[in-house]
A and B are shown apart, each in its own frame.
Chain A
Amino acid sequence: MQGKALQGKALLELAGAIASDAVRVIDLSFTLSPDFPVIVLPPEFGQAAPVRIQEISRYDARGPAWYWNNVTFGEHTGTHFDAPIHWFTGKDLANNAVDTMPPKDMIAPACVIDCSAQAAQDPDFLLTMPIVEAWETRHGRIPSRHWVLLRTDWSKKGWRDYSSLRDDGAHTPGPDAAVMKWLVEERGIIGFGTETIGTDAGQAGHFEPPYPAHHFLHGAGRYGLQCLCNLDQLPATGAVIIASPLKIQNGSGSPLRVIALVSST
């Protein structure tokens, strides 16, 4: 079949383009390390286990020729993926966990909305409808099954400013409820990604509904990516995101290596 033959050739061309740097591969992930901030919930709730790395051996008496570690972490630590089953709105959907989600959803193009200037001014900056409409005026309509990535340059901050905790909770940027509902229902995005800890804003617990990104995305079987970095290296359109979470049985999410393919030209 002609379609298949073309596809095969296109894939080889892609591999060649990557090898020749005509297509650049950008790492959008933080290093999974014990000192990376994790989400903070009130202490009486269950907590995400932090990343722990315990040496099994390092070319020593515990194993003379090899180095390896035991690693433990929560599903939502470091740069990580949220599956629909993570939120109550997505709990009854089919194939809603990281092990059952369709593998083809792990590769999709992205629209990047640059709000770094606004976020620098206001840690509680919210992505709203007018901002997305203005973006569409410049870059065109957000196609369905695309990621929308919110660039805030939050990933460039030191850890304390990054988690931005005050006595009334975290103050980090994110989407408001209306834009989230619209992106999911009117644009059919495959998912929403942020540089902050969580797809929602730090104060999103006070929104209506609370945590609207989680609420609308996962309720519609869509995905979340958070703690991304290097979004400043992505074009507004045209990047392809590869985000394949660990195949954890009935997993609600997982730390992962997120990479973006970007044309150099």
Chain B
Amino acid sequence: MIDPIEPPRRKNPLLRTRLPTSPPRARSRTSHGFTRAAAEGRFMLQRCEGCGAFTYPAREACPCCLSDALAFVDAPPRGLLLAETTAHVPSDVYFRERAPWRIGLVKMDCGPTIVAHLHGDCVEGAPVRMSFQLDKSGQAVTFARPEGETPNMADDKQWREMTADPRFRRVLVTNGRSAIGREAALALKVAGAKTVFVGIAEPWRPFAGEKLLQGQDGIELVSLDAADEKSTRNLAADIGGKVDILVNTTEYVRPGGLLDREGTSIARDEVDQAYLGFINLAQAFGPIMRMRGADGINNSVAWVNILSVYALANWPAFGAYSASQAACLSLSHCLRAELRPGGIKMMNVFTGPVDTEWFQTVPPPKVAPRAIGQAVVSGLKGGLEEMYVGDVAEEIRQRLAANPKALERELDR
């Protein structure tokens, strides 16, 4: 039984803020198959294409038949906790600070026996649900949870090291003028965020949903034009130390590619809003978030970007926009690496066309802004790094993995 986390008290200003530390990082290249699984919230193991045996840890050859045809495939996540132990005085700084720390041996129904971090409610001899999670080093680790739900399950201290639950945390949603920003703010508030700061650029310009946001307890409208260096820095000066989760909902969608547009002014706006806005946000909020990675119950934990799935493959109908999104995707990988020492997760939420005005003429399926808001919350709770929201995004992901050239040709319509 897990004790529920308490709303954090105000900090004692006489005490130094503890700096983040990281668990061991080293992994073999092959075992990054698990990193990919963890990033997407899937449970994948290597399976021998020769004899069909699942194997763990990552190997170059099958321990049963010595075949080198080992592929990462989705595997059944159920197992049985054979034995558990508690490390009271680990030698590693990260674990020593968090001791006592429980680990155990799990016999998977599909074969292998796996050493895993344990949820506090796992008991020896009982079935567990295994998952790959990303730890504070951004590396995949195995984590065993009880098979069913238990009270305050998400509040387990070891589980919280792997996740970025919004509960009691303070969130900045960077653009509240858009439907996505609005829905994200509302969903995060429902998920228990203490405060959701919602950035509003050009506050002199009225926008839909303004009244709705203004009337919400725990939602605070703040002046933020991410494309403007000064505005971004001013906000960070005010609330930078109180942003535990940043959700970058910058949205600047315009149709058109290259030849049917005249000049670069729209492209400039796209770059200004999406790319330079990202840089301004990162430079203003990144350093303090990285520094606050171990700052108590409401430590800073995650940075979320809402990106078009066409960041992965250009859709010529929205070609220049796709390129601006690709640039942001690339930046996100840079920021992910730079935030790593703070243990800050960087989650990219990829969406297909959203059910908003700029995609008016695009036929369905389109993603409801509300679904994106909910995905942000569920991704944070699960500690994910990549999410694909809606049918189009998921389809693009699969087609890209299958044959990038085919996807390129087929998007050209």
Interface residues of A (CB under 8 A from B): 34-35, 37, 40, 46-47, 49-50, 52-55, 158-160, 162-163, 165-167
In Å, the complex CA distance between A13 and B254 comes to 58
Partner of A40, one of B203, B205, B229, B231: B205
Known A34-B230, A34-B231, A55-B229; contact A49-B269, beta-carbon cutoff 8 A: yes
Contacts of A46 in B (CB 8 A): 265-266
Cβ contact within 8 Å between B229 and A52: yes
Cβ contact within 8 Å between A49 and B204: no
Partner of A37, one of B202, B229, B269: B202
Is B206 interfacial (CB-CB < 8 Å)?
yes
Cβ contact within 8 Å between A165 and B205: yes
Q: Which 5 A-B pairs have the closest CB atoms?
A: A159-B204, A160-B204, A34-B228, A163-B204, A37-B204
Contacts of B268 in A (CB 8 A): 49
Is B272 interfacial (CB-CB < 8 Å)?
yes
Contacts of A40 in B (CB 8 A): 205
In Å, the complex CA distance between A49 and B270 comes to 12
The smallest beta-carbon distance between B162 and chain A, in angstroms, is 38
Is B225 interfacial (CB-CB < 8 Å)?
yes
Cβ contact within 8 Å between B269 and A47: yes
In Å, the complex CA distance between A158 and B223 comes to 15
- Write the B260-287 contact mask toward A (1 if CB under 8 angstroms, else 0): 0000011011001000000000000000
Is B227 interfacial (CB-CB < 8 Å)?
yes
Known A159-B204, A165-B206; contact A34-B265, beta-carbon cutoff 8 A: no
Can you list 20 A-B contacts (CB < 8 A)? Answer: A34-B230, A35-B223, A35-B225, A37-B204, A46-B265, A47-B265, A47-B269, A49-B268, A49-B269, A52-B229, A52-B272, A53-B229, A158-B204, A159-B203, A160-B204, A162-B204, A165-B204, A165-B205, A166-B206, A167-B206
Residue of chain B at shortest CB distance from A34: B228
In Å, the complex CA distance between A66 and B231 comes to 22
Contacts of A160 in B (CB 8 A): 203-204, 206
Residue of chain B at shortest CB distance from A37: B204
In Å, the complex CA distance between A37 and B272 comes to 17
Known A159-B203, A165-B205; contact A52-B265, beta-carbon cutoff 8 A: no
Cβ contact within 8 Å between A53 and B230: yes
Interface residues of B (CB under 8 A from A): 202-206, 223, 225, 227-231, 265-266, 268-269, 272
The smallest beta-carbon distance between B20 and chain A, in angstroms, is 26
The smallest beta-carbon distance between A61 and chain B, in angstroms, is 14
In Å, the complex CA distance between A93 and B87 comes to 85
Contacts of B230 in A (CB 8 A): 34, 53
Known A49-B265, A49-B268, A52-B272; contact A163-B205, beta-carbon cutoff 8 A: yes
The smallest beta-carbon distance between B294 and chain A, in angstroms, is 29
The smallest beta-carbon distance between B120 and chain A, in angstroms, is 48
In Å, the complex CA distance between A46 and B266 comes to 7
Residue of chain A at shortest CB distance from B227: A52
Contacts of B206 in A (CB 8 A): 160, 165-167
The smallest beta-carbon distance between A126 and chain B, in angstroms, is 23
Residue of chain A at shortest CB distance from B207: A165
Contacts of A163 in B (CB 8 A): 204-205
Residue of chain A at shortest CB distance from B262: A46
Which of B204, B228, B269 has its CB near the most chain A CB atoms (within 10 A)? B204
In Å, the complex CA distance between A47 and B205 comes to 15
In Å, the complex CA distance between A47 and B265 comes to 8
In Å, the complex CA distance between A40 and B201 comes to 14
Given A46-B266, A55-B229, A162-B204, 18 more A-B residue pairs with CB atoms under 8 Å apart are A35-B223, A35-B231, A37-B202, A37-B205, A40-B205, A46-B265, A47-B265, A52-B272, A53-B229, A53-B230, A54-B229, A160-B203, A160-B204, A160-B206, A163-B204, A163-B205, A165-B204, A166-B206
The smallest beta-carbon distance between A77 and chain B, in angstroms, is 13
Contacts of B204 in A (CB 8 A): 37, 158-160, 162-163, 165
Residue of chain B at shortest CB distance from A36: B204
The smallest beta-carbon distance between A82 and chain B, in angstroms, is 19
Residue of chain B at shortest CB distance from A163: B204
The smallest beta-carbon distance between A40 and chain B, in angstroms, is 7
In Å, the complex CA distance between A104 and B269 comes to 37
Residue of chain A at shortest CB distance from B205: A165
Contacts of A34 in B (CB 8 A): 225, 228, 230-231
In Å, the complex CA distance between A40 and B231 comes to 20
The smallest beta-carbon distance between B223 and chain A, in angstroms, is 8
Contacts of B225 in A (CB 8 A): 34-35
Contacts of B203 in A (CB 8 A): 159-160
Contacts of A50 in B (CB 8 A): 227-228
In Å, the complex CA distance between A159 and B205 comes to 9
In Å, the complex CA distance between A166 and B265 comes to 26
The smallest beta-carbon distance between A174 and chain B, in angstroms, is 18
Residue of chain A at shortest CB distance from B263: A46
Residue of chain A at shortest CB distance from B223: A35
In Å, the complex CA distance between A105 and B271 comes to 38
The smallest beta-carbon distance between B285 and chain A, in angstroms, is 17
